[in-house]
Chains A and B, each alone.
Chain A
Amino acid sequence: MNSMIDYIGSMITGGAVFAAMLTYFFNVSATAVSQVFSVSTQEDMTSITEILECDLRKAGFGVTDSVAFTIADSNHIAIRADFDNNGTIDTVQYWVGTTQMPESSNPLARILYRQSNGKTVRLTPNAITRFKVWYYNASGAMTTDVRQIRTTRIAMNMECKISYDNQTAGEYWERVIKPQNLR
């Protein structure tokens, strides 16, 4: 009888330990998967912001009519500069689509586009849930007058297009950029 009680007791204890280990294992696995998605999203964010910053820093280079921006909307920006330093003024635009990104279940998910001299590319396979641009004049006041813009502030939220366990990896980036040619 005693050995039966020992046997049942050890089974219950062992089962509990086993269940706890399994639960822990699944939680850790979920964290690991989330981490992988976070890394991927963060790398994607730094890559596209590098492109965006590189373009914005050139704003106004070689421009003689003081118009370094042709579009200055809150979610659409068009920058004028001699981007490839060949003596010809080019225009580069960034904007987010108006419809939900098909691959995402998030109704705010949009596609971020970059257009350079008429050629449009999708910048990231991930979803942009917010792309907002503010424009400031020389005295720091907000403006939409393209001739007065001296500073831009850009904020962007990115979400991984794949969710895991109902969780989506996301990144936030915000930057104030003062193009040297607009000083």
Chain B
Amino acid sequence: MNGFILIAGTLIPLIGSLFLPLMGRFNEKLRNIMALIFTLAALICAAGALPGVLAGEPYSIRFELPLGLSFGFYGDALAVFMALTAASVSSVIVIYSYGYIHEDNQNEYYMMICLFVGAMMGLVYSTNLIAIYIFWEISALCCWRLIGFYRTELTVQRANKAYMITVFGALIMLIGFVGIYGQTGTFELTAMKGMYIPAWAVVLILFGILSKSATYPLHSWLPDAGVAPSPVTSLLHAAVLVKIGVYAYARFFVLTFKIDEIFTAAVPVIAAISAIISAGVAFRENDIKRVVAYSTISQLAFILLGLSSGTKIGFIGGLLYILAHSVAKGGLFLCCGIVEHTVHTKDIRVMGGLAKNMPFTALAFIICAFSVMGVPPLAGFFAKHLVIDGIVETGNVALGAVFIAAAVMTVMYLTRLFVKVFLGPQTFPDVKEGSPVMVASVMILAVMSLLLGIFIYWPSQLAAIAWGGM
């Protein structure tokens, strides 16, 4: 019975999304409300799975299929943690969309958003590698349609680029899954816990992970995907889609399989390169969304560092970073959307003094930026500290120093962005604050960043339970 809550959390948004275009043909308000209800349903179901986790008996359900195959859902601490993060941020983004999206193809927009949320839920709960792959590709499909939302030549080109890089990575990853099946005789993660997998399989799976999580050198699609509407960029490229890759890393290489030690040395180095180079590029960018996109690439490297450190404290730091970053970066992208919506440009060189006309957006922006920078009492502080703690605990002091340098760069480029956009002489004296719905959404995320920091005890306890694995 309890396992059905996991199925409900997946199928409600997944199947419900298919009805949204139909609803939209008759009543747009109904469609919008139902889209929110479907994402909230995913959140409620994820919250409903918490008691099982806290009691030490995670909810699960399994179906036996013909030909010796099986398919299961498992709501352990890691899955519930990810589901709660994704669903909560997605719900806020749906609300924000009401004020932002006014174009013609809204039916497809809301359908893709809900389909994506459902795919995300299915991905985190699945115990079967093939099921994970299927949900992985559904999310890529949604990403493709949503990035190309405006249907101009440029947006379609960029959508194709994102699709091809992520699907290429996923196909390589699938070869890795097949290789694992050849070795173990099963696709079930629960049956493979503690099993050693060869280096070639790890490399193939890493292709998929690094392409999805926009890590160097498979990151190029993320900054270009900024042509999408801001709620799309926030949902996919800050809060949820890019977290799929790091979630997969945690699920496969930390909690399930045993891998060669060379990867616990190599992956942090790849993460360090990604963190420092993207931070350097962010400092020079003049497109407001590209700055935040490169910041995402840099922060994802921090998450990968924590998860790949091999230490409990690093792992917990990585999970807290996923939570803190999803909320804060989601808020940053939504603030960028408000700015872009009102001044009709993304070039920060022509902006200035917007804090006077848009005080709430500026306040939400700086709170979210402080969380990303790691300023207490916001959630990002604890995450950053634990992640660096984790890598130093392995004895790798040099890498710790590189990430401290990346953290310094984070402070620099986010301060530069805030100062250029919101401070200084006013260049757009006639603009007004964003619509109430949009401003309320960003304020919710800013307040969430603050509350998560003050009440960090509970997320960190859930993350600590997640260390125990399946």
Question: Are A and B bound to each other?
Answer: no
A-side residues, CB < 8 A to B, are none
B-side residues, CB < 8 A to A, are none
